Amino acid sequence: MSGGGPPRKRNFKIEAFKNRVELDPKYAERTWKVLEHAIHEIYNHNASGLSFEELYRSAYNMVLHKYGEKLYDCLQNTMTWRLKEISKSIEAAQGGLFLEELNAKWMDHNKALQMIRDILMYMDRTYVPTSHRTPVHELGLNLWRDHIIHSPMIHSRLVNTLLDLIKGERMGEVINRGLMRSITKMLMDLGPAVYQDDFEKPFLDVSASFYSVESQEFIECCDCGNYLKKAERRLNEEMERVSHYLDAGSEAKITSVVEKEMIANHMHRLVHMENSGLLNMLVDDRYEDLGRMYSLFRRVPDGLSTIRDVMTSYLRETGKQLVTDPESLKDPVEFVQRLLNEKDKHDKIISVAFGNDKTFQNALNSSFEYFINLNNRSPEFISLYVDDKLRKGHKGATEEDVEVILDKVMMLFRYLQEKDVFEKYYKQHLAKRLLSGKTVSDDAERSMIVKLKTECGYQFTSKLEGMFTDMKTSQDTMQDFYAKKSEELGDGPTLDVHILTTGSWPTQPSPPCNLPTEILTVCEKFRAYYLGTHNGRRLTWQTNMGTADIKATFGKGQKHELNVSTYQMCVLMLFNNADGLTYKDIERDTEIPASDLKRCLQSLACVKGKNVLRKEPMSKDISEDDTFYFNDKFTSKLVKVKIGTVVAQKESEPEKQETRQRVEEDRKPQIEAAIVRIMKSRRVLDHNSIVAEVTKQLQARFLPNPVVIKKRIESLIEREFLERDKVDRKLYRYLA
Amino acid sequence: MQFVLVPPSNMHRHFGSLLSGAVGADVTFEVAGDMFAAHRCVLAARSSVFMAELFGPMKEKAMNCIEIKDMEASVFEAMLHFIYTDTMPDIDQEDAFVITHHLLVAADRYDLERLKLICEDKLCMCIDTSTVVTTLALAERHGCQGLKKACFELLKSPSHLKTVMATEGFDLLLASCPSLIKELLAKVAPCP
């Protein structure tokens, strides 16, 4: 034991059955009376005069001597009586004071209950659990619930008062939120079932009708944007209301009521509202309105899909018009620019207003994929657009700008179904750019190739890279040629040869034409030099692709340097020996094909500012009866005059047919290769499955035509790669 | 490798000194004539009853001296010792049974669960035919299940049972707690 003081006297013994006689019913009754008095004192706010020790000990003794049941029952009766009195005083409260009186009495009851529970702690700990009765605190709450909240005189008055206050607040009045908080907290303390059944359910019902009416009013008089603003405001209000004086569990329920009444029920009317609906918002780029619509609609079922569907059909319609509009088809660069603009517009809407929602991104992509392929010239036009951007003379664009544009173009490229068509055109246009020296920057060109390679793989770009290699090699070859042969060449015209590897460059028929003697000489010298170092190769001059710089002196002695095509050079050189020549003369001497010749003469004689030749009769078109004269009177402000630029142009009809044919021809072996690959691994397969598999394998490049696939299968059967099954004609077997 | 040697807890000794030294004591208890100084916070921290008493709104909140009735001073002293140190005080062997008995009652009254179990445990160990009846009465009255089981265990043996049934205490128990005897019979002579 702790130190200090003499040991205590131990003059007691165990009296196990002591006190049993003392605590007869009379004593129990007396003890209860003390406690009853205390309870009343507590409710009368006189607790400070009571002795806890004494009261606790009394209750303890009662329980110890088996009067727990009496104590509990008496407690229950006393509290019930007390609460009935309290109920009367609450009922008597007038008007606005009703809620305050209820709240004040509730606070009192809680304090009293705490003290009563403390005094009766021993009973709560021992008798209550063993007899399975409700603990004191819970008992106090249940009695309050039963005799106050559920009292007929109070119950409906309470609910109506609360709902009226909320309605008032919704209409703009200021209410006592602290009091509301206290009341709803009281209901929650009495049990979630009380809060839900007695308050929350009627609250939700009343709110539903309130918002149903209000939304109907709004939609009759507001445009879409304003309606959504109002709806958003109401939604925020309700959430704020919950945070201030309702139970947090009500938030989801009330917001879903507002969402249903104000948004879900009017969704279609809002979206399709004339002059202010979704379509107008999209067209006018109203980001704020769109963003609001998105955030509100995502709360309701099918909300976002409704927006998405409208956007998709708008996009498809707009896109379809764009690609089929005959005006825009006249200018390919403009065509592609408009597509890019449309993409930019929608990208911005999705990123700013729709939070970069992936499903919208997908809808955008599928729409573009749909309409871009409606026009089968899209691949060609996209290539022309890139060509335009990569040409020299494109003012104002920095390196980064060009990079950005190319990346955007790549996005359009991805949508193309016929990527092999694009490849063909790109090759053609690239060839023209390289050979005419018109690329704005080598880096930009290579950057584009890298992007295509990343997208489509090495096969796609290997030939393109071959073209670049040829250009570099040609440079080296020319240097070497002039280093070795400069004395031999002397004063002749300077030659600059590009040697093109046949497989890499677009195939062109190259009808020969008669070159001027001076040119021929130096060309032959080059051929001898080249074949000397590259045995076994064959060189063919591509006269339709070359250019020439000619020094010309005109009537009054003006000297100009003319930059012309090879064909044009051949024609002009003829005029060194004659002043006038007929069309037929020129045709005979140069042997240039008719359509090319006509175009050539037209550019030399009929274009203002470039008419180094004079035509008789004067007219826009070239006829076979025309005569041409050297134009002595030619003037130009520029010393260097460009006459023949080999610009990539949108193809004429016949050219287009030709390219299309070549594409179809190229597709045949690819389809056959795919069929053989598939059959080799599967051995036996039915027709429909082959078609599906082939389509799947080739779709990265183009969409194969099932009719063509069928023809290829038949061709492979003829060549004994496959055979048809004897019994089932739709089944094919691989022949090893 | 151990770089730091952390000694075992000695918190109970510090609080024990606080009790014996009574520094900062803010309440006094009068028990059967003796005075005991103590600290409200410590008592309230250890017993929900003292918490309600010493920090509640009733008289005791402002009283300097509180009278405790129906308890022996030495028992109250022992209870205080436990409250401050969480250990049983040293008790002389001759008084051990009696003091433990009363200490159990005090622990039950003031909601000191662990003390109650410690006392129960001690009493379990000194059950014999002379003490079993009073112990059983105690266990029944104060809800000590473990102690009750221990008593029944002893009474399972027929010779013990015979001895006990002959005592006066047994008759008194029979009169005051018939249900207990019923329970005993059920345990001791189970129906086949």
DSSP assignment of A329-354: HT-HHHHHHHHHHHHHHHHHHHHHTS
Q: A40 in a domain, yes or no?
A: yes
Q: Compute how many other C-beta atoms are within 10 angstroms of the C-beta atom of residue A122.
A: 24
Q: Is B69 exposed, middle or buried (0-12, 13-18, 19+ CB in 10 A)?
A: exposed
Tell me the chain B residues in contact with residue A47 when contact means C-beta distances shorter than 8 Å. Answer: 57-58
Cβ-nearest to B49 among A13, A121, A126: A121
Min Cα separation A212/chain B (Å): 52
Nearest to A639 by CA among A575, A562, A564: A562
Question: Sheet containing A684-686: which strands, arranged edge to edge?
Answer: A684-686, A731-734, A722-724
pLDDT, tens only, A107-136: 999 999 999 999 999 999 999 999 999 999
Tell me the chain A residues in contact with residue B52 when contact means C-beta distances shorter than 8 Å. Answer: 52, 56, 118-119, 121
A374 and A422 co-located in one domain: yes
Q: Can you say how many angstroms the Cα of residue B72 is from the centroid of all Cα atoms in its chain?
A: 12
pLDDT of residue A11 exceeding 70, the answer is: no
| A61 CB-side CA count, 13 A | 25
Q: A541 in a domain, yes or no?
A: no
Most confidently modeled range among A228-242, A390-404, A411-425, A474-488 = A228-242
Q: Are A60 and B74 in contact (CB < 8 Å)? A: no
What torsion do the CA atoms of A564, A567, A573, A577 make, to the nearest 10 degrees?
-150
Cβ-nearest to B52 among A2, A48, A121: A121
Size of chain B, expressed as the number of residues it contains: 192
The SS3 assignment for A686 reads strand
A323 and A465 co-located in one domain: yes
Q: A320 in a domain, yes or no?
A: yes
- pLDDT at residue A16, rounded to an integer: 52
Render the burial of A496-505: b for 16+ CB within 10 Å, e for the rest: ebbebeeebb
**Angstrom distance (rounded) from CA A664 to CA A668:** 7
Q: Are B134 and A12 in contact (CB < 8 Å)? A: no
Cβ-nearest to B16 among A2, A12, A111: A2
pLDDT, tens only, A167-219: 999 999 999 999 999 999 999 999 999 999 999 999 999 999 999 999 999 99
A495 and A478 co-located in one domain: yes
**Angstrom distance (rounded) from CA A165 to CA A27:** 53
The domain boundary, picked from A423, A449, A469, lies at A469
Q: Are A2 and B77 in contact (CB < 8 Å)? A: yes
Cα Rg, chain B, nearest whole Å:
20
Tell me the chain A residues in contact with residue B49 when contact means C-beta distances shorter than 8 Å. Answer: 56, 121
Tell me the chain B residues in contact with residue A64 when contact means C-beta distances shorter than 8 Å. Answer: 141
Q: Are B49 and A47 in contact (CB < 8 Å)? A: no
A555 and A603 co-located in one domain: yes
- pLDDT at residue A4, rounded to an integer: 45
Min Cα separation B19/chain A (Å): 8
pLDDT mean across residues, chain A = 88
Question: Sheet containing A627-630: which strands, arranged edge to edge?
Answer: A580-582, A627-630, A613-616
Token pair, residue B188, equals 């001791």
- pLDDT at residue A494, rounded to an integer: 85
Min Cα separation A304/chain B (Å): 58
A313 and A462 co-located in one domain: yes
Look up residue B128 and give its DSSP letter. Answer: -
CATH code of the domain covering residue A684: 1.10.10.10
Tell me the chain B residues in contact with residue A115 when contact means C-beta distances shorter than 8 Å. Answer: 56-58
A506 and A579 co-located in one domain: no
Beta pairing class for A731-734 and A684-686: antiparallel
A339 and A421 co-located in one domain: yes
CATH code of the domain covering residue A463: 1.20.1310.10
Number of structural domains in chain A: 6
Residue A629 domain boundaries: 547-642
Letter for the amino acid at A66?
Answer: K
How is chain B split among helix, strand and coil, in percent rounded to 5?
65, 5, 30
Substitution target from B58, B85, B174 for chain A, most A beta carbons within 10 A = B58
- pLDDT at residue A394, rounded to an integer: 58
A53 vs B: CB within 8 A: yes
pLDDT band at A21 (very low <50, low <70, confident <90, very high): very low
**Angstrom distance (rounded) from CA A591 to CA A515:** 9
Q: A17 in a domain, yes or no?
A: no
Regions of chain B with pLDDT less than 70? 190-192
Tell me the chain B residues in contact with residue A20 when contact means C-beta distances shorter than 8 Å. Answer: 176
pTM of the model: 0.77
pLDDT of residue A648 exceeding 60, the answer is: no
A126 and A37 co-located in one domain: yes
Cβ-nearest to A56 among B49, B77, B138: B49
Q: A259 in a domain, yes or no?
A: yes
The domain boundary, picked from A148, A169, A185, lies at A148
Q: Are B98 and A52 in contact (CB < 8 Å)? A: no
pLDDT, tens only, A498-523: 898 888 888 777 777 888 888 888 88
The SS3 assignment for A172 reads coil
CATH code of the domain covering residue A587: 3.30.230.130
Question: How many inter-chain contacts (A to B, CB under 8 Å) are there?
Answer: 92
Higher pLDDT, A392 or A464: A464
Q: A16 in a domain, yes or no?
A: no
The residue with tokens 């939120």 is: A177
Q: Are A49 and B169 in contact (CB < 8 Å)? A: no
Cβ-nearest to A52 among B59, B141, B169: B59
Q: Are B111 and A47 in contact (CB < 8 Å)? A: no
pLDDT of residue A3 exceeding 50, the answer is: no
A608 vs B: CB within 8 A: no
Q: Compute how many other C-beta atoms are within 10 angstroms of the C-beta atom of residue A178.
A: 11
Cβ-nearest to B73 among A8, A61, A64: A8
Tell me the chain A residues in contact with residue B72 when contact means C-beta distances shorter than 8 Å. Answer: 8, 12
Nearest residue of B to residue A10, measured between CA atoms? B74
Q: Are A14 and B101 in contact (CB < 8 Å)? A: yes
φ/ψ (deg, to 5) at A560: -130, 155
A350 and A230 co-located in one domain: no
- pLDDT at residue B73, rounded to an integer: 93
Min Cα separation A102/chain B (Å): 23
Cβ-nearest to B59 among A49, A60, A122: A49
The domain boundary, picked from A469, A489, A518, lies at A469
- pLDDT at residue B192, rounded to an integer: 57
Q: Are B19 and A2 in contact (CB < 8 Å)? A: yes
Nearest residue of B to residue A60, measured between CA atoms? B109
- pLDDT at residue A508, rounded to an integer: 72
Between the two ends of chain B, the Cα-to-Cα distance in Å is 63
- pLDDT at residue B90, rounded to an integer: 87
Min Cα separation B47/chain A (Å): 12
Min Cα separation A4/chain B (Å): 8
pLDDT of residue A645 exceeding 70, the answer is: no
Could you check whether the bond before residue A7 is cis, i.e. omega within 30 degrees of 0? no
A3 vs B: CB within 8 A: yes
Nearest residue of A to residue B139, measured between CA atoms? A16
Cβ-nearest to B59 among A3, A10, A51: A51
Min Cα separation B96/chain A (Å): 11
pLDDT, tens only, A269-282: 999 998 899 999 99
Q: Can you say how many angstroms the Cα of residue B71 is from the centroid of all Cα atoms in its chain?
A: 12
Higher pLDDT, A456 or A344: A344
Q: Are A1 and B67 in contact (CB < 8 Å)? A: no
pLDDT of residue A22 exceeding 80, the answer is: no
Substitution target from A13, A52, A115 for chain B, most B beta carbons within 10 A = A52
ipTM for the complex? 0.94
The residue with tokens 């030939």 is: A463
A237 and A220 co-located in one domain: yes
Q: A353 in a domain, yes or no?
A: yes
Q: Are A1 and B78 in contact (CB < 8 Å)? A: yes
Tell me the chain A residues in contact with residue B102 when contact means C-beta distances shorter than 8 Å. Answer: 12, 14
Rounded to the nearest 10 degrees, what angle do helices A687-698 and A706-718 cross at? Answer: 110
A56 and A46 co-located in one domain: yes
Between the two ends of chain A, the Cα-to-Cα distance in Å is 104
A28-32, A434-438, A472-476: least confident range: A434-438
Look up residue A391 and give its DSSP letter. Answer: B
- Asked if residue B79 lies in contact with residue B103, where contact means CB atoms within 8 angstroms, the answer is yes
Q: Are B90 and A1 in contact (CB < 8 Å)? A: yes
Cβ-nearest to B109 among A10, A49, A60: A60
Q: A8 in a domain, yes or no?
A: no
Q: Can you say how many angstroms the Cα of residue A215 is from the centroid of all Cα atoms in its chain?
A: 32
Mean pLDDT, residues A236-251 taken together: 96
Min Cα separation A24/chain B (Å): 13
A108 vs B: CB within 8 A: no
**Angstrom distance (rounded) from CA A339 to CA B9:** 79
The SS3 assignment for B66 reads strand
Token pair, residue A430, equals 């690239």
pLDDT band at A19 (very low <50, low <70, confident <90, very high): very low
Tell me the chain A residues in contact with residue B95 when contact means C-beta distances shorter than 8 Å. Answer: 10
A463 and A447 co-located in one domain: yes
pLDDT, tens only, A59-115: 999 999 889 999 999 999 999 999 999 999 999 998 889 999 999 999 999 999 999
Nearest to A339 by CA among A288, A374, A289: A374
Q: Are B57 and A51 in contact (CB < 8 Å)? A: no
